[in-house]
Each structure stands twice: as C-alpha cells, then as structure tokens.
Amino acid sequence: MITRFLAAIAGLTLVAATCTDVAAQSPSRAPILSGPLAKLDIKDAQIQTAKGKPQGTLTIAQHFGLDPGWLDPLEHGYAITQMTYDYLVHDAMIKPMPQGEFTYSLAEQAEMTADFLKAAFRLRPGLKFHDGQPLTTADVKWTYENFKGFYSKLFRDKLEHIQVVDDRTIIFHFKQPFLEFMDLYNGGVSGIGWIVPRHYYEKVGRDGFKAHPIGAGPYKFVSQQAGVQMVFEAWGEYWRRTPATKTIVVKGISQLAARVAGLETGELDLAFGMTGKLLPRVMQDKNLRWVPNYTSVWYLMFPGYNEPDSPFHDKRVRQAVSLAINRQFLARQESQGIGKVWGNWISPENRDAVKGDGTELPLPEFNPEKAKQMLAQTKFPNGFDFEWYVPFVPYLDMGERVVTDLRAVGIRGKLQAVEGPAFRAKIGQGRKGYPGNRTIVQNIDPRPGGAQAPISVYAVCGSPASFVCEPPIEELWAKHQTSRNPEERDRLIKAIQKVLIEEYYMVPMYWNPFVHVVGPRVLPEGKGFERYWDTLHAPYPWPWEVWEVKADK
C-alpha cells in the first residue's frame, strides 16, 4: 500500500516536473505591423526551464572532409550539410524544429503584410552571443546586408530598406511583393536567417571567423583541425535549454568502411550515410542502432528528350523505361529493403509535394512484358541502343542494376562512371551537360525549400540546370510566380508535379533512406533514440542540444 502511494506521488511529481520543464512559449504579442497581415504558420519554441548539467562526449562522423567555411553563415551555400554546424554554433530567427518546419527561435514573433511588402520580427529578450555581447536587431540587419551566400542576389534585389525599430524589433521593406521571403529566410533553407555577431566578425575578419567562430547557438566552438575535426562545448546560457551533451566532436571521415569500423570499435557514436554492402553488417551488430531517415527520391531524367530525333522523345519509350525497372529489387539490394518504392520524384516531407504512395500518384509498376509491348508500338519494336546511363556517384552498383533491367526489355546502353565532381559539374549544366540526346541520368537531390525548389532547378526552361522545358509546365510556373495566394501556389506546384510524372519526364524509383547509426553510448538505450530525427525535412538529427550520451568514464 505504502509502495503504491509512494509510486503515485513519484508519478505525479514526474508529471509536474515534465509540465514545468518543457513549455511551448506563447508570449503576448503586440502587433508590429499595421494593416492586414498574411497568415503565417510558425510554431512556438519549446523552452526547457530546468537546467541539467551537460555530460559526456558525442563523437560524430561527417561523411566529407570538414570545411571551416561551414562555420560562417554569411557564405552559406545551398549544401544542407552546413546546417549541421549552424545548429551547433549559431541560431536562426526561425528554423525547422521537431514541432514544425517553421519554429520561432531567436525571434519570438514574426509578421508579414498581406501584400508581402513588409516583414517584421521581434527578438526574444535577453539574447546574447557566446562572448556575452547582446544579440540585437543591429546584428540581424548587418547579417542580412553582408550575406553573400546562396539566394543573396534575390534577397538584395528585393530589399528596399531595413528599419531597426529598437533593439528587439526590425522591419524589412521590400520593393515588390516577396512571397517566398519567410520560406527562404527560414534557417532550414538559406543562411541569411542565422545571425552572425557583427562586432566579432568585423574584428577578426572572414578567415578569423571561420577559424574560430562565435554565435548564439547551443554549442561554443572550441577548436578545429581544418578538414579533420571540430570540437564544440555546451554553452550553459543557451536560451532554450542547457545542452545535454557536454562535448561534441565532429570528424570528417569520407570512407564508409572507416565509419563502420569506427562505430564497431566505439570510437564513433553517430555516423551518417550507411548504404550498400556494409549496411547489413551495421544492421546485424547488436551494439549499434540505426534509423532509416528517409530523405529524397531517386529518379531518372532524359537530357534532350524533347528533341525529335531522341528515342526518349516518345512518351511511350519513357514509360517503357519506367516499367522495366524492378524498384523493389533495387531497394532491397541498396538499402536492405527499407527504401520505399515511390511514385513522385519529390520527397513527401515537402508540404507541397504530391504523395507518391499510391494515394495521389500511383506506385510505379514493374512490368517488363508491358514495357516490351509499349516499345513495340514505337519506332523501336526491337528495342534500341542508347548512349550512356549516368548514375549518381558513387552509386554505381545501383546504376548497373538499372542498366540490366533496361537491357532485359531491349533498351541497351552502357554505364558511364564519372567521379563526383565531374558528375556535379555536368548535372549543374542541365541538358547542356550531356552531348547527344540518348542519355539517361540518375539523380537524387535533398533540396530544402519545398517542392518548388527542385522544380525551379530541374523542370523549368529558365534554370541553368534545366532538364525539362515544356510549355504546359512553363504556363503553370509563370502563374505560380505571380500568384500571391498561398493555396493557389500550392495547387499550381502540385499540378506541375503531376505533369512531370504523368508524362514520364521524371521517372521516380524509390524513396531513399539515408541511414544513420548510433553506438551504445547514445541515450536512451534501446528504443526511443529515434526522436533525434523528429525535425521535419532534416537529413541530419537536429537540434543538437537534445542529444544525450552516457557520462565519460
């Protein structure tokens, strides 16, 4: 009886503690802007008031050589990997968090006028950088004005002026309606919303900042060996919560085998990008745990398909290609079956993506006989030779499997194995990157910014990397670009996706798992660690302040 009573008391205490520890912050919000406002769906930050003591070391393997440039948001590229370091050292006005793709972070309030000509933010009170200096709207303004990264021209061109109302309130005035502003200013899409300390940056300069950055994020930068290792330490004064892990060490390890060996020996606690032949080894190891971490969809494109002498000019040929691919087998070989056959080339994590699971777009069919029948109706009843199948590097095995499937229905071609930089350089030129018009390109692109982002790159005529240029799509795209109605914009983007799939301009294969693995030091033990991957549309387990590990021995 006494035991039950004590247990009940303990339970109630735990519930009470949980309620006080984590609270969604909903400050009273006096309006900043006057007149009608656009509807924004930005979630409140969850602030954990109870301060625990950070403990232990989390050693992470990044699957590239580390670039000190990643520590500088002012030169933020499109590369999503950089955001891993943003989430460590810096903080953004709004950013993706587990509770939503748009979540208040440094800002506690954001507004946008209904005509999309003004955007305003109010910073939460008492913010500061790692060196103790206050973070104010002057830093926000300076960051915007000095941003040189991806989308910088767009942000510059659209801006009329920035009005600093006070230390916590700032208003951006635009020359013309800037509908995408909140999408692009979000920390999950570009670097401009990650706030850099003006006083420090001007003092140490660009190189000095990259060598030893400071920010307002949960972890303070400690040291680095360029390309090899970076060390970060918990910053106890982070506004949202005290980070749970004391030290985070990131190592640049490009070789998959080395990452697997490091996990098996316990030298690593978290590694990214497990795939292919080594994936079963990781899955069978009792000391390791893994998450599928679905990111983007593998798909095929046909550069030059719209030229009349291309065999892929005929929709039925493109359809035959799609019918010939045994996607289930591919997913089993490449990802031990955890990859999901998918009917759209855009990841369903994008809020404006059309679902490719059979509900909104059909699951692609594997039917070699039907593929042969389709070909028989074309100019190529006995099949044809195409020039090259260019697989995404280094997934050459997958490329071989697709080439074999295609050969089985009479579509015969060779695999062109190029190295990574050459592949990226070619695909960056779009159709122009591939001579002739008998090539199939295999791609994957975990691009932030919603479905409109990959469409704007690969599927509209004006893009430097355009592979698809079709009048019906251009018409829809032009409407989308001029529309101020968010619902209409979503509708138009979905219509474009349907055209791309139904006409087989893009041939999706499967939704790729970018498998991540953790070692035994990561808490909680057993199940439950998957919560670190709760942030939507994040290929990495952000935010870092919630990661818990066992104390160092």
Partner 1 sequence: MRRYILVRALYSLVTLWLLVTIIFGMVRLTGDPIQMKGEVGADPVYLEEIKKRWGLDKALHQQYASFIGKLLQGDFGHSFEKSLSVRDIYFERLPNSLKLGLAAFVISIVLGVPLGMLSALRVNTWWDNVGKMIALVGLSMPGFFVGMVLIIIFGIELGWLPVLGKGGSALVWGSPSTWLTFWFRDWLHLIMPAFALGWYFSGAMLRITRSGMLDVLGSDYIKLVRLKGVPERMVVAKHALKNSMIPVLTFAGLNLLIMVNVAVVIEVIFNWPGVGQLLYDGLSNRDFPMVQGVVLMSGLMIVMLNFTIDVLYGYVDPRIRLSR
Q: Which residue stretch of 69-77, 105-113, 159-167, 347-355 sits at the interface with partner 1 (rule: CB under 8 A)? A: 69-77
Q: Which residue stretch of 256-264, 379-387, 395-403, 520-528 sits at the interface with partner 1 (rule: CB under 8 A)? A: 256-264
**The one among 141, 210, 340, 537 contacting partner 1 by CB under 8 A:** 210
- Distance of closest approach, residue 225 Cβ to partner 1, in angstroms: 6
Q: What residues form DSSP beta bridges with 223?
A: 231
Residue 446 near residue 539, CB atoms below 8 Å: yes
Instruction: Tell which positions 217-246 bind partner 1, by CB under 8 A.
Output: 225-229
Binding to partner 1 by residue 446, rule CB under 8 A?
no
Instruction: Tell which positions 473-492 bind partner 1, by CB under 8 A.
Output: none
- Distance of closest approach, residue 197 Cβ to partner 1, in angstroms: 18
- Distance of closest approach, residue 376 Cβ to partner 1, in angstroms: 36
- Distance of closest approach, residue 58 Cβ to partner 1, in angstroms: 15
Give the residue with the Cβ less far from partner 1, 304 or 383. 304
Q: Which residue stretch of 25-33, 384-392, 404-412, 427-435 sits at the interface with partner 1 (rule: CB under 8 A)? A: 427-435
182: closest CA among 241, 121, 251? 121
Q: What backbone phi and psi angles, to 5 degrees, belong to 114?
A: -65, -25
Q: Which residue stretch of 40-48, 131-139, 252-260, 515-523 sits at the interface with partner 1 (rule: CB under 8 A)? A: 252-260
Q: Which residue stretch of 14-22, 349-357, 452-460, 497-505 sits at the interface with partner 1 (rule: CB under 8 A)? A: 452-460
**The one among 222, 425, 478, 551 contacting partner 1 by CB under 8 A:** 425
Q: Which residue stretch of 36-44, 125-133, 259-267, 481-489 sits at the interface with partner 1 (rule: CB under 8 A)? A: 259-267
CB atoms inside a 10 Å sphere around CB 471:
8
Residue 194 near residue 76, CB atoms below 8 Å: yes
| Distance, CA of 431 to chain centre | 25
Alpha-helix runs per DSSP H in 36-190: 82-89, 137-146, 152-158, 181-185
- Distance of closest approach, residue 253 Cβ to partner 1, in angstroms: 5
User: Starting from the edge strand earliest in sequence, which strands make up the sheet with 219-225, in order?
Assistant: 219-225, 229-234, 245-252, 55-62, 270-274, 515-518, 289-291
- Distance of closest approach, residue 420 Cβ to partner 1, in angstroms: 7
- Distance of closest approach, residue 116 Cβ to partner 1, in angstroms: 21
**The one among 39, 153, 286, 527 contacting partner 1 by CB under 8 A:** 153
Q: Cα(first)–Cα(last) distance of the chain, in Å?
A: 40
Instruction: Tell which positions 131-150 bind partner 1, by CB under 8 A.
Output: 148-150
Residue 341 near residue 362, CB atoms below 8 Å: no
- Residue-wise DSSP of 218-236: SEEEEEEETTTEEEEEE-T
Residue 516 near residue 535, CB atoms below 8 Å: no
- Distance of closest approach, residue 2 Cβ to partner 1, in angstroms: 47
- Distance of closest approach, residue 149 Cβ to partner 1, in angstroms: 8
E strand intervals along 417-470? 439-443
**The one among 101, 445, 490, 545 contacting partner 1 by CB under 8 A:** 445
Task: Give the x/- contact pattern for partner 1 in 385-424, rule: CB under 8 A.
Answer: ----------------------------------xxxx-x
293: closest CA among 272, 322, 315? 272
Give the residue with the Cβ less far from partner 1, 239 or 392. 392
**The one among 267, 387, 397, 530 contacting partner 1 by CB under 8 A:** 267
Give the residue with the Cβ less far from partner 1, 57 or 373. 57
Give the residue with the Cβ less far from partner 1, 121 or 201. 201
Tell me the torsion sign for CA atoms 258, 262, 267, 270. Answer: positive
Q: What backbone phi and psi angles, to 5 degrees, belong to 98?
A: -55, -30
What CA–CA distance (Å, rounded) separates 48 from 28? 19
- Distance of closest approach, residue 514 Cβ to partner 1, in angstroms: 17
- Distance of closest approach, residue 507 Cβ to partner 1, in angstroms: 18
What CA–CA distance (Å, rounded) separates 240 from 106? 10
397: closest CA among 345, 442, 358, 355? 442
Q: Name the DSSP letter for residue 14.
A: H
Binding to partner 1 by residue 211, rule CB under 8 A?
yes
Q: Which residue stretch of 21-29, 62-70, 174-182, 498-506 sits at the interface with partner 1 (rule: CB under 8 A)? A: 62-70
452: closest CA among 192, 116, 194, 179? 179
- List all residues 6 or more positions away from 382 whose beta carbon is below 8 Å from its beta carbon: 410
The SS3 assignment for 71 reads helix
Q: What residues form DSSP beta bridges with 510?
A: 341
Copy the structure tokens of residue 62. 């990044």
- Distance of closest approach, residue 194 Cβ to partner 1, in angstroms: 16
Residue 292 near residue 365, CB atoms below 8 Å: no
Q: What backbone phi and psi angles, to 5 degrees, belong to 53?
A: -100, 130
The SS3 assignment for 307 reads coil
Q: What share of the chain is helix, strand, coil (3-state, %, to 5)?
A: 35, 25, 45
- Distance of closest approach, residue 349 Cβ to partner 1, in angstroms: 19
Q: Which residue stretch of 75-83, 126-134, 232-240, 319-327 sits at the interface with partner 1 (rule: CB under 8 A)? A: 75-83
Binding to partner 1 by residue 151, rule CB under 8 A?
yes
Give the residue with the Cβ less far from partner 1, 104 or 151. 151
Site size with partner 1, rule: CB under 8 A: 54
Binding site for partner 1 (CB under 8 A): 65-69, 72, 75, 77-79, 148-154, 207, 210-211, 225-229, 251, 253-255, 257-258, 261-262, 264-265, 267-268, 419-422, 424-425, 427-429, 445, 447, 456-458, 463-465
